[in-house]
Structure 1
Amino acid sequence: MRPRTTRPARTTTGTARLRGARRLALLAAVPVVLAGCSVGGGGGGGGSTGDDEAAPEPSAAAPSLDPTVRVPPSPELATFYSQELTWVGCESIDPPEGVTGQDHECTTVQVPLDYEDPGAGTMLLSLTRLPATGDDRLGSLLLNPGGPGGSGVDYALQAGLVTSEELREAYDVVGFDPRGVARSAGVDCLDDASYEDFLTADPSPDDPGELQTLEGLADRLAQGCADDRVAPYMDTVSAARDMDVLRAVLDDADLTFLGKSYGTVLGAVYAELFPDRVGRFVLDGAVDLTARPATDVTIDLEQVQGFEVALESFVADCLTQPDCPLSGSVDDGIGQVRALIASLDRVPLPTGDDARPLTQGLGVLAVVYPLYQYDAWPALRAGLEGALAGDGEVMLFLVDLFTERAEDGTYRGNTGEAIYAVNCLDGRSDPAGRAAITLEDIEGSAQEMAEAAPTFGPHIAYGGLPCVGWPFEPAAWPEIDGEGAPEIVVIGTSRDPATPQVWAERLAEQLVSGVLVTYDGDGHTAYGQTGAGCVDEAVDAFFVEGTVPEDGLACVADY
């Protein structure tokens, strides 16, 4: 089984409740940086997968001066809300590659497995913080990088890259691994060899045999999660309730939160459950949480079209670069990428490793992942140059980099499993209670997906297969409007591949107090992206000074 370590910090991808998306390929979190760099941080504190787990020993810190901070929503949760944290060094936990420094502190927090039955068992969440560097500390800033399955511990350990100096002066930057993710009793459903089979499989079955193979791999993942202790409780509502425990034990009267991609789902659900505890919230790369019937494929179509838009933007930029391997018009360049992907279905490319040719599944991943960051586009140009010349080595390197595969064939972390564990629990029922994903649904929408997005649609349509046979019942899902919460800043990016801007527009409208900020730029999420200085300024002013951006603020990339 895979060790319980984690993948590097990431800008996120992701959304819950996407019925047809190939979630492993498109929603798994993506590294913030392509090469190791030295920033503050060590490792994270560890949770485990044992039975009932003890809370950390109480620290000598005095309890909160505000007695309302730790008031639980129900009496049976009092023991969780009253925990005192013991912060220690982070040396014992493996940090992301290239992360160095000793400024972070780590601990664990006890939460119930099942909030409907808090006495039935507990688990530990892993937590890290970088203490505020300024004299006028405002409290804690909780981060979530997305996924589902992204490690907030790894993300916060790279605080020097993912937050501004102003935020680090004003706030303790805090990251946590959500339940079942990474160090927080990370769900483990596949061994490394099986995970590789899942990654390399043909994502667009052309005949009954290929479909049977894909169904078998999806079922292996689903059944591999069946005996995991935490997997039945990895729904977003439970994770959002964990966030309120974290708020209390951090001694914050209100939660201050920066959520990216799937982190916007966590933030919106938290605002629905605890509107009176919402402090300054920024939801970046927002997800559309509009309730729709199971047969509605709007979200799926909009996402795959988002990837097409991102590819078009990449190709247009590529054709202006001296090292671009594409030629002709933008349509010509897109056609060359499509032809390459199609050719891999017939003849995988050599990579220098006879056991690992570049299959179509891997080739799609190698194109998709760099679209998440404008700064990764040169790497995609290099990969395409090699592949178009018949050499898949660079493309395979990109896949291994983004999926955190080591040279010995092991994978770091559990993002590939956690993303399904969350999405399948969150997305298996529509408001009428009908199972949201069936094989018939998937097959019925496959042609529509292919027509809407010729490059990626055929390879995304069958991505929901693991949820068809998911071994746990779906979790209850609240209607979300966040009524009673203060202003919540919602950000959307015009050429975001994974969370189209229209989703942010809808979420900002859905939230009673939503304030929309748009970014005319590239990449997944906006805050901290190259060229997004206008967004950065607005977000920092909101967090530090409480200045709410003008609703409808439109920022334009400055590359």
Structure 2
Amino acid sequence: MQASSSSIQWVSCDPSVVSNPALSCGFFDVPLDYHDPAAGRGRLAVIKANATGPRRGTVFFNPGGPGGSGLEALDADAAVLGGLTGGVYDIVSWDPRGVGALTVPGEIFCFGSAEEHDAFFNGTIELTGVEYTGSFTDPADVHALFSQTKVLQHKYEEVGRKCLEGPSGRYLKYVGAAATVRDMIALADALDGEGAEMNYVGVSYGTLLGSWFVNMFPDRVGRVILDGVVDPVSFATEQISLNAANFLLKDADKVYEAFITGCLLSGTTGCPIAANASSPEEVNQNVQALLRAAHDAARRDPSVAVSSSVIRSLLYTQMESPEGWSQLANVTYPQLVQAVAQEVSESTFLPSRFGRPRNPLRSRSSASETGVSYTSQAIWCGDSVDRASTTMLNIFDDLVAGTRRVSHLFGGLWPTAFYSCPFWPVRSVERYRGPFNRTLANKILVASNLLDPATPIAGAQRVAGLLGENATLVTQNAFGHTTLSEPSTCVSTIMMTYMLTGKLPEGPVVCEVDGGFELFEGVNTSDILARLSGPDV
């Protein structure tokens, strides 16, 4: 496939933004509204890694988020993506609408500074997170949460007004997945020729873009990989703010079970959290003891550096990346123990091997030096179901229920962007609501880990099921977010073969993780899977 003359002038990337000198950068003009030329124009910051072999076209890549920077992602992962696609495609990514400082509309800011944001939310869970033990088993924790119902709803409504009245306000209705899909199509027309088949790799939230793309433009579907799949039907039909645990966290506690199981198998030399433990349950008791101590310290002084909310957020982030589990256990966890011990001024609850605190973690800030981005809110909420009569009371009710029924450990995480959606002031000018079972020009690959803490396998199963013969589902017997979280020669071979030849295996495929990849010293994925409990594995 020969590329047509491109409307992008490719030049060297700004080294302050992109470190890989082999990549090229440029800008691409787009209409703000593809159905209303009078709305004006925007531009996308675009980045490209050239094919290393005979060029067959372009593969477009979106790293998810929503709000992830394509420039940063390709800068970091050009070699991985080049290998995955066989080296015969240019790989192009971009900062979508609402992302970064170079795309227009760019990053969404609703406050003049981080300090203004923090002052506005002072005294609320927006800065401190939610403190609870167990699965909200202490009525005092429930009362503390619900005591913020009215003030937080008022502040979320006021933030919506600030965003609409601020410098990004006029762009909010033009930020969303449908416009981004149309931007991709325009890029494909410019780079590979008018009407050419479009090749796409999307991970995490990028799979929602992918689901919209293949169903909005089924005749343009080339070779498409969706990995770590967001359920597009649930997103199109349900309020994500009232379905967060089921939507995203269904398998999160099971991944945590894998973590503590691997920890026990490695023993205290490979995982200090297993001190004095003879079962995964006893490893969990060590973690829960730390969470309770941090919770109690935060209840006495909400300004402590390491609250239970901080620890839960850190644990959840690490559940997405099993390659860091050993680092978490051997480096980060002892630091957390020391920090919390200093906060409570005694360490009787702690495994004695950690000793007295020396280097507590630095206090986190809810805001960066450059401000507080509302891009995730703008994208999630602009595309979500219509604003309804949902209140903060409804959201808190659902959060507690999700913590009790779906994810004890992570169901109470706060803040999260989609909790803003009932109070967000606008919706995108175009939103796709289905169908999601169109007949595609080419068959696509849908991939998922068996246990993914952020995009449960049910999303991939649903997308593949709706597409039927138009998709092949590849399940990797692994933990973490997307199949890239653990190495599998089986998965990578299927993906590369597909990108090079268009051929996919018949029917669903299950792949194993490479046996040499250890999550803890002497412990690999199959060791853990063999010992996990329950029907899910």
TM-score (normalizing by structure 2): 0.77
SS of 2:110 mapped into structure 1: coil
1:286 and 1:499 in contact (8 A); partners too: yes
The separation in 2 between residues aligned to 1:92 and 1:164, in whole angstroms, is 21
Shift of 1:124: 0.7
Q: Provide closer, same or farther for how the CA distance between residues 233 and 250 of structure 1 changes in structure 2, counting only shifts above 3 A.
A: same
Shift of 1:506: 0.6
2:149 and 2:392 in contact (8 A); partners too: no
Shift of 1:214: 4.1
1:152 and 1:178 in contact (8 A); partners too: yes
2:336 to 370, 378, 387: 387
Shift of 1:187: 1.7
**Higher share of residues assigned helix:** 2
What does residue 180 of structure 2 align with? 239
Deviations 1:252-301 (A, max 9, x none): 41111100011111011011111111110000001112257547966632
Shift of 1:438: 3.5
Q: Which blocks of at least 5 consecutive residues in structure 1 are unaligned?
A: 1-63, 70-81
1:255 and 1:278 in contact (8 A); partners too: yes
Shift of 1:359: 3.0
Q: Which blocks of at least 5 consecutive residues in structure 2 are unaligned?
A: 132-141, 343-357, 518-537
Q: Provide closer, same or farther for how the CA distance between residues 367 and 142 of structure 1 changes in structure 2, counting only shifts above 3 A.
A: same
Shift of 1:195: 5.7
Shift of 1:496: 0.8
Shift of 1:499: 0.5
The separation in 2 between residues aligned to 1:241 and 1:523, in whole angstroms, is 31
1:193 corresponds to 2:115 = yes
1:471 corresponds to 2:393 = no
Q: Provide closer, same or farther for how the CA distance between residues 247 and 316 of structure 1 changes in structure 2, counting only shifts above 3 A.
A: same
Q: Provide closer, same or farther for how the CA distance between residues 120 and 295 of structure 1 changes in structure 2, counting only shifts above 3 A.
A: closer
Shift of 1:342: 4.0
What does residue 449 of structure 1 align with? 402
1:446 and 1:462 in contact (8 A); partners too: no
What does residue 355 of structure 2 align with? none
The separation in 2 between residues aligned to 1:439 and 1:173, in whole angstroms, is 43
SS of 2:12 mapped into structure 1: coil
Q: Provide closer, same or farther for how the CA distance between residues 105 and 293 of structure 1 changes in structure 2, counting only shifts above 3 A.
A: closer
Structure 2 counterparts to residues 16-415 of structure 1, below 5 A: 84-91=7-14, 93-95=16-18, 100-134=19-53, 136-165=54-83, 167=85, 169-182=87-100, 183-184=102-103, 185-190=106-111, 191-193=113-115, 200-203=127-130, 206-207=143-144, 208-212=146-150, 214-215=152-153, 218-219=156-157, 221-226=159-164, 227=166, 228=168, 229-252=170-193, 253-291=196-234, 294=238, 300-301=245-246, 303-321=248-266, 322-327=269-274, 328=277, 329-348=279-298, 357-381=305-329, 382-391=331-340, 410=369
Structure 2 counterparts to residues 426-445 of structure 1, below 5 A: 426-429=383-386, 435=388, 437-445=390-398
- Matched residues, number: 461
Q: Provide closer, same or farther for how the CA distance between residues 194 and 257 of structure 1 changes in structure 2, counting only shifts above 3 A.
A: farther
TM-score (normalizing by structure 1): 0.74
Q: Provide closer, same or farther for how the CA distance between residues 144 and 178 of structure 1 changes in structure 2, counting only shifts above 3 A.
A: same
The separation in 1 between residues aligned to 2:325 and 2:299, in whole angstroms, is 21
Q: Provide closer, same or farther for how the CA distance between residues 202 and 194 of structure 1 changes in structure 2, counting only shifts above 3 A.
A: farther
SS of 1:457 mapped into structure 2: coil
Shift of 1:126: 0.6
The separation in 1 between residues aligned to 2:438 and 2:390, in whole angstroms, is 28
Q: What one-letter code is carried by the residue in structure 2 that aligns with 1:187?
A: I
The separation in 2 between residues aligned to 1:395 and 1:317, in whole angstroms, is 26
1:154 and 1:175 in contact (8 A); partners too: no
Q: What one-letter code is carried by the residue in structure 1 that aligns with 2:219?
A: D
The separation in 2 between residues aligned to 1:418 and 1:387, in whole angstroms, is 31
2:446 and 2:460 in contact (8 A); partners too: yes
Deviations 1:312-352 (A, max 9, x none): 111111223324232322123234334433433331499xx
1:295 and 1:436 in contact (8 A); partners too: no
Q: What one-letter code is carried by the residue in structure 1 that aligns with 2:130?
A: P
2:229 and 2:447 in contact (8 A); partners too: yes
2:498 and 2:504 in contact (8 A); partners too: yes
The separation in 1 between residues aligned to 2:210 and 2:404, in whole angstroms, is 34
The separation in 2 between residues aligned to 1:365 and 1:199, in whole angstroms, is 13
The separation in 1 between residues aligned to 2:370 and 2:15, in whole angstroms, is 19
1:128 and 1:156 in contact (8 A); partners too: yes
SS of 1:424 mapped into structure 2: helix
Q: Provide closer, same or farther for how the CA distance between residues 461 and 230 of structure 1 changes in structure 2, counting only shifts above 3 A.
A: closer
Q: Provide closer, same or farther for how the CA distance between residues 114 and 89 of structure 1 changes in structure 2, counting only shifts above 3 A.
A: same
Shift of 1:508: 0.7
Q: Provide closer, same or farther for how the CA distance between residues 175 and 195 of structure 1 changes in structure 2, counting only shifts above 3 A.
A: farther
SS of 1:518 mapped into structure 2: strand
Q: Provide closer, same or farther for how the CA distance between residues 220 and 133 of structure 1 changes in structure 2, counting only shifts above 3 A.
A: farther
The separation in 1 between residues aligned to 2:117 and 2:260, in whole angstroms, is 31
Q: Provide closer, same or farther for how the CA distance between residues 242 and 113 of structure 1 changes in structure 2, counting only shifts above 3 A.
A: same
SS of 1:175 mapped into structure 2: strand
1:349 and 1:390 in contact (8 A); partners too: no
Structure 2 counterparts to residues 457-536 of structure 1, below 5 A: 457-459=411-413, 464-473=418-427, 475-479=430-434, 480-512=436-468, 513-526=470-483, 528-536=484-492
Q: Provide closer, same or farther for how the CA distance between residues 172 and 214 of structure 1 changes in structure 2, counting only shifts above 3 A.
A: same
The separation in 2 between residues aligned to 1:372 and 1:398, in whole angstroms, is 23
1:428 and 1:437 in contact (8 A); partners too: no
Q: Provide closer, same or farther for how the CA distance between residues 222 and 532 of structure 1 changes in structure 2, counting only shifts above 3 A.
A: farther
Q: Provide closer, same or farther for how the CA distance between residues 113 and 394 of structure 1 changes in structure 2, counting only shifts above 3 A.
A: farther
1:192 and 1:411 in contact (8 A); partners too: yes
SS of 2:505 mapped into structure 1: coil
Q: Provide closer, same or farther for how the CA distance between residues 258 and 540 of structure 1 changes in structure 2, counting only shifts above 3 A.
A: same
SS of 2:490 mapped into structure 1: helix
2:69 and 2:99 in contact (8 A); partners too: yes
Shift of 1:175: 1.0
Shift of 1:147: 0.7
The separation in 1 between residues aligned to 2:360 and 2:446, in whole angstroms, is 34
SS of 1:441 mapped into structure 2: helix
The separation in 2 between residues aligned to 1:333 and 1:263, in whole angstroms, is 35
What CA RMSD, in Å, does the superposition of the two structures yield over aligned residues?
3.2
Q: Provide closer, same or farther for how the CA distance between residues 342 and 193 of structure 1 changes in structure 2, counting only shifts above 3 A.
A: farther
1:140 and 1:173 in contact (8 A); partners too: yes
Q: Percent identity?
A: 26
1:153 and 1:177 in contact (8 A); partners too: yes
What does residue 353 of structure 2 align with? none
Shift of 1:460: 5.5
Q: Provide closer, same or farther for how the CA distance between residues 436 and 285 of structure 1 changes in structure 2, counting only shifts above 3 A.
A: farther
Larger radius of gyration: 2
Deviations 1:38-86 (A, max 9, x none): xxxxxxxxxxxxxxxxxxxxxxxxxx978xx8xxxxxxxxxxxx96211
The separation in 1 between residues aligned to 2:458 and 2:109, in whole angstroms, is 34
